[in-house]
Structures are given as C-alpha cells and as structure tokens.
C-alpha cells in the first residue's frame, strides 16, 4: 500500500527522551536521546540497531510500558499522553518473549485478550485471526503443545484482536530457524497487504532489506539514519577487492586513495575503495606500483551490513 506525502503518519515521534533513573548501584541511563521520526502509513518500517541501542525502550514507550522522560508520540494521530485510549486502540504489540498460559487454547488466548481490550463478543474475530495466522486447525489445542513458530504466530494474532491499524513486532525472528523466519515474514507481508502498517525491530539486516520499505537505525539512543531501504543500500558505495600477491605481506598495502586496507591472509590483502571514484583496475595498478605482482583477484560489493557497521561504529556520546 503506497503512502503519499499528505497522508498523516501512522506514528509520529518528536524529541523523544528516556532517561532511566539510577537504581541501587546501577547508574542512570540515557536510553533515548531526542529521537524524532515518522512511520508512514501502510509501510513495513524496520528499526535497526545494535544491542542496547534503545529499540526496546522505544517500542515499550509506544506500548505504554515505559514512561518517557520528555518528547511526544502520536499513534494514528492520537497523542499517547492526552488520548491514551485511542492511542492504545490503534496499536498492537508483539513482544520479544513468548508468554502464554500453557493451559489455554489458542482460541481462548485470543478471546481473553479481546476481553481485555473490551472487544464485544459479537465483534470478536477469533477464528478469522486464527485463519490469518494459519492456526485454525489448532484453535482448541493446548498452547503448550504448539511449536515455537506456531506460538509466535499466535502472539501476532493476539496483538491483532482489537484490529489495530499499526502492528509492532519486537525482534519477531530472534532465535527462529530459517524456514520459520520465512513463514513469519510471509505472514507480516500478508498483514501489510491487508492494510496494516508494520514496525519491526530486527538484527537480520538481510531480511530488513528484503521486507522493509524504510529503515531507521538507532545507536546509543540517537537516530543515525532514516531512509527508504533502497537509498540506504545505495549508501553502500564501498567496494572491496581481495588480492592474492606473489609474496607475503606483513603490513597492509596503503595508498591515500584506498578507504581501507587490511591483511587478510599470508599473501592476501583486502582493499576497500569508493566505486564512484575508482575502479578495481586502478586499485590493482597502485598495488603493482608498489612492487607487488598480483596472483589472484576477487571483488565484492558492500551490502546493508557494511552500511550498518559504518553508521553504528561512530563514537559513543556521553550518557
Ligand atoms: N529498566 C531499565 N533501567 C535502567 N537501564 C535500562 C533499563 N532498560 C534498559 N536500560 C538500558 O537502556 C539502554 C537501551 O536498552 P534497550 O533495551 O532499549 O536496547 P535495545 O536496543 O532494545 O537492545 P536489545 O537489542 O539488546 O534488546 C541499554 O543501555 C539498557 O541497559
């Protein structure tokens, strides 16, 4: 579903600050340091960042589980301070941890959750939701008998009982095998095609690249990138040439035109260069100019992983 510039954002975050107060011996922590961004309606929006970057704090703020220190958050146009009820009704959160009472069946889990949200019995969509997450045949099984992947799908259905327009998934595929991960992504894609705006956090860059329309990167509580996925990938202008030389190298072959040069084997160096400024041939000429013969060569493009590493390796600000 495309969004246009005049469509109001699904989520609007401005100058969000969260400082955890010191407790006992633990010092206070500035977990979110003035974060501002919009999640456009209808998109799949990826929130990436290394461990401890502040992603869970941000999501828990949206969920009403963390009290922000300052700043403002609107969900589907509803301010989380002044319009709590509508803000909460507009968002479904899928937590990282799987927590169910093992003695309830999937149908009961959804029914109880709908009760908590005050969804009238006549408007409950238990079977429809179970079908959407491909669990209709497990409606009356004990939750404890479900596989890990089924439990995660049930968590997604649970977050959708009140039909929120925005669904947030906190690391939905952490610790999930490749096949299950694919299934979960497909499910997220289906919900999005049905009109749900999706926000997800993940450590899997490749999947963020595949699934998300837009990616924001957060590091040390600050937003360091927020771009359409394609643009972010295009930032990976770095190319790497791996050269096997005719003799051993004990120090990397340096030249001011190289972005980086490292020894990666007894006779091997890996040289990074800006592909908009020079070619692999020019890199090789410069190495040959230093008296080396080149025995073998291979190249690779930087990917989102490299962009991520470059962006997140910037120096930490004081907390
Ligand atoms: N209740 C708390 N009290 C004090 N500090 C906290 C609390 N919760 C989180 N923090 C700190 O705030 C920072 C951000 O944590 P947060 O859990 O938001 O990061 P994250 O990006 O979600 O990391 P991960 O990917 O590991 O879940 C971390 O330094 C963390 O130690």
- Mean pLDDT (the chain, rounded): 88
Domain match, 222 and 284 both: no
Q: Looking at the structure, do residues 157 and 290 belong to the same domain, yes or no? A: no
Residue 156 placed within a domain = yes
CA of 219 to the centre of ligand 1 (A): 11
Q: How many domains are there within the chain?
A: 2
What are the φ and ψ backbone dihedral angles of 126, each rounded to 5 degrees?
Answer: -50, -55
pLDDT over 70 at 188, yes or no: yes
pLDDT tens-digit readout, 134-171: 899 999 998 778 888 888 899 999 999 999 999 999 98
Residue scoring higher pLDDT (250 or 151): 151
Q: Are residues 138 and 230 in the same domain?
A: yes
Q: What is the CATH number of the domain that holds 263?
A: 3.30.70.100
Q: Which domain holds residue 173?
A: 11-234
Pocket of ligand 1 (CB under 6 A): 20, 29, 31, 49, 51-57
As for the ipTM of the complex, it is 0.96
Q: The domain that contains 179 carries what CATH number?
A: 3.40.50.300
Who has greater pLDDT, 150 or 317? 150
Looking at the domain assignment, is residue 290 inside a domain?
Answer: yes
Residues 216 and 250 in one domain: no
Residues 116 and 226 in one domain: yes
pLDDT in tens, 215-224: 999 989 999 8
Is residue 113 in a domain? yes
Q: Whose CA is nearest to atom 1 of ligand 1?
A: 20
3 — pLDDT class (breaks 50, 70, 90): very low
Residue bearing the CA closest to ligand 1, atom 24: 51
pLDDT (0 to 100) of residue 5 = 57
pLDDT band at 12 (very low <50, low <70, confident <90, very high): very high
Each residue's pLDDT tens digit, 20-34: 998 888 888 999 999
318 occurs within a structural domain? no
Same-domain status, 179 and 266: no
Answer yes or no: do 222 and 82 share one domain: yes
- Residue whose C-alpha is closest to residue 156's, from 122, 120, 183, 177: 183
Residue 319 is predicted with a pLDDT of 40
Give the mean model confidence (pLDDT) for residues 239-259. 89
Are 246 and 290 found together in one domain?
Answer: yes
Do 146 and 217 share a domain, yes or no? Answer: yes
- Global confidence as pTM: 0.78
- For 43, other C-beta atoms within 10 Å of its C-beta total 20
Residue 68 Cα, ligand 1 centroid: separation in angstroms?
13
Residue 318 has pLDDT above 70, yes or no: no
pLDDT tens digits for range 67-97: 999 999 999 999 999 999 999 999 999 988 8
Name the residue of 27, 32, 50, 53 whose CB sits within 8 Å of the most ligand 1 atoms, as the mutation to test its pocket. 53
The residue whose C-alpha atom lies closest to atom 4 belonging to ligand 1 is 20
Phi, psi of 262 (to 5 degrees): -135, 145
Let me know if residue 266 belongs to a domain.
yes
Q: 142-146: which pairs have CB atoms within 8 A and are 24 or more residues apart?
A: 142/102, 142/103, 142/104, 142/105, 143/100, 143/101, 143/102, 143/103, 143/104, 143/105, 143/106, 143/109, 144/100, 144/102, 144/103, 146/106
| Same domain (yes/no): 172, 149 | yes
Q: Which of these three, 193, 215, 234, is where a domain ends? A: 234
């Amino acid at each position: 579903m495309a969004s246009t510039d005049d469509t109001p954002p699904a989520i609007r975050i401005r100058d969000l600050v969260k400082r955890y107060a010191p407790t006992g011996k633990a010092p206070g922590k500035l977990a979110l340091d003035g974060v501002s961004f919009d999640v456009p309606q209808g998109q799949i929006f990826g929130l990436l960042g290394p461990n401890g970057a502040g992603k869970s704090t941000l999501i828990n703020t949206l969920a009403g589980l963390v009290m922000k220190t300052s700043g403002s958050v609107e969900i589907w146009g509803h301010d989380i301070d002044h319009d709590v009820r509508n803000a909460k009704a507009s968002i479904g959160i899928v937590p990282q941890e799987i927590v169910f009472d093992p003695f309830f069946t999937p149908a009961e889990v959804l029914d109880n959750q709908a009760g908590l949200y005050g969804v009238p019995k006549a408007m409950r969509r238990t079977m429809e939701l179970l079908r959407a997450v491909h669990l209709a045949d497990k409606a009356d099984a004990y939750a404890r008998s479900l596989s890990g992947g089924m439990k995660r799908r049930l968590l997604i259905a649970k977050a959708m009982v009140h039909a929120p327009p925005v669904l947030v998934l906190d690391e939905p595929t952490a610790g999930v095998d490749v096949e299950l991960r694919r299934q979960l992504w497909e499910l997220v894609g289906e919900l999005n095609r049905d009109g749900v705006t999706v926000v997800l956090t993940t450590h899997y860059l490749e999947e963020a690249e595949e699934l998300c329309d837009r990616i924001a990167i957060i590091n040390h509580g600050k937003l360091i990138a927020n771009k359409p996925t394609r643009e972010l990938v295009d930032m990976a202008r770095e190319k790497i040439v791996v050269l096997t030389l005719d003799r051993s190298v004990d120090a990397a072959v340096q030249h001011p035109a190289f972005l980086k040069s490292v020894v990666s084997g007894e006779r091997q160096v890996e040289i990074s260069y800006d592909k908009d400024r020079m070619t692999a041939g020019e890199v090789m000429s410069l190495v040959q100019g230093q008296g080396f013969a080149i025995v073998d060569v291979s190249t690779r493009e930087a990917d989102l992983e490299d962009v991520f590493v470059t962006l997140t390796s910037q120096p930490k600000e004081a907390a």
